[in-house]
Amino acid sequence: MKRIIAVLTMSAVPLWVGVASAAQAPAAPVAGRAPLGVTVIEMEAVVVGWSAKHNLLGKTVVNDKNDKIGKVDDLIISPSKDGNTPAASFAIIGVGGFLGIGKRDVAIPTQQLKIHDKQLTLPGATKDAVKALPPFVYQGK
């Protein structure tokens, strides 16, 4: 995997060029059509970004005093303001309870979460304040 990333980051050709032969020049983008995949520059952002599966889901959220607030149970992906681009807009955090008993979910806008020393932080939050938020309930459940 590291070898693949190294090769991709050294290349100046966007990844969306695909498997075209080296002798064949990449086709120019067509107006109104977006390339599939990511460019090499975008791949750099992917490599340093956080993985929902490995870095977010199930991870503890603390406040700025390092008190445990809850754990990230889910991420809600919704359309952006332009209506076309999906984005992780809410983190569903399980709060309260003990060993899963009495736990409930609350929705926290992702903009309110901060990353500090590889730890998810919800500045200014207290356990009581988060428990007082309305519960998040999935539609159709």
137 falls within a domain: no
Task: Tell me if 131 sits within 8 A of 99, measured CB to CB.
Answer: no
Both tokens assigned to 118: 């590889």
139 falls within a domain: no
Task: Tell me if 103 sits within 8 A of 135, measured CB to CB.
Answer: no
Over residues 85-131, the pLDDT tens digits come to 777 889 999 988 776 677 889 999 989 999 878 889 999 998 889 88
One domain for residues 80 and 113 = yes
Strands (E) across the chain are located at 60-62, 68-79, 86-95, 104-109, 114-116, 119-121
State yes or no: pLDDT of 12 exceeds 50: no
Over residues 48-79, the pLDDT tens digits come to 667 777 778 889 999 989 999 999 999 988 88
Number of domains in the chain: 2
One domain for residues 41 and 90 = no
Which domain, by its residues, includes 25?
A: 2-48
pLDDT given for residue 122 in this prediction: 93
